[in-house]
Amino acid sequence: MARHLAIVFLLVVLAVSVAPSRYAMADGSCAAIRVGGADLWYPYAFRDADSNEARGIAYDLIRWIGNELQVPVVFGERVPWARTEMLFDHGDLDVIAGVYNGSERWEGRGFLTIPFAEDKVSVFVKKGEEFPFSAPEDLNGRLGAALLGARWGARFERHRSKLPLQEVQKHEQVLRMILRDRVDYGVLPYFTGKYWASQLTGGDRLTALDTPISINPVHFVIARGSPCAGLLRRINGLITKARETGVLDGIVSMHTPVS
């Protein structure tokens, strides 16, 4: 019963939308949190196909955090990832909701919060064409597909240049290439890959190998020059509060299948 009540409360909070006219107060403090992020990263950060509403664990958690801080959260337009990073670097976004812990990638650009989730990255293949896999070296001699510009953990990236990888723009393209026998495998975040496998084949022709390529902590990153950067400690405290009070579990349960 407590979990159901928590989810009802979350739905009320997450439905509130405020559109302020200013994003920094006269004293330079944060008047609104301008948020960008991925648009097809299930279940963390995606856009509703009908309403274009920002949905997912990362977006709903930052909504809850904004409510706790009494600071409005404003979501940016749906744009490609490279454009999101550009807006972030140019001061047009305060937060990217959902990034891996690549400290060197964000050094000098922003501040990572403590993690609020983990994202497993997997090797996808056709069912019946599985092969032993425990390390990136096991992919040698096989043709693969991956997302352009995506990074899947330090160990995989160190070996990446040795692999014949075809890079594409969209998650579903990776899986279509497997289905059409253009590649032997594809690399995708586990939940995202499962979602698109279900969309393309009902989930009965593609599978993920048992051992993941990596398991990556998921964070928010706050722009270094943002008027909201001073909220980093409070945001970290609220992530901890969300985890300890069951709020985070409630958000996760709304976006992940019941096992």
What is the residue-wise DSSP string for 122-177? EEEEETT-----SSGGGGTTS-EEEETT----HHHHHHHTTS-EEEESSHHHHHHH
Looking at the DSSP bridge assignments, the partners of residue 167 are: 146
Q: 70-97 burial, b if ≥16 CB within 10 A, otherwise e?
A: ebbbbbbeeeebeebbebbeeeebbbbb
- What is this structure's pTM? 0.82
Provide the pLDDT for residue 19: 41
Closest residue by Cα to residue 245 from 10, 57, 81: 10
Residue 156 has a pLDDT of: 87
- Reading the chain (259 residues) residue by residue, the pLDDT tens digits are 444 444 444 554 454 444 443 454 434 589 999 999 998 899 999 998 888 899 999 999 999 999 999 999 999 888 888 899 999 999 999 999 999 876 677 888 899 999 999 999 999 999 999 999 999 999 999 999 998 878 787 888 889 889 999 999 889 999 999 999 999 999 999 999 999 999 998 778 999 999 999 999 999 999 999 999 999 999 999 999 999 999 999 999 998 865 4
Question: 188 has which bridge partners?
Answer: 122
Q: What is the pLDDT of residue 259?
A: 46
List b or e across 149-159, with b for residues whose CB sees 16 or more CB atoms inside 10 angstroms: eebbbeebeee
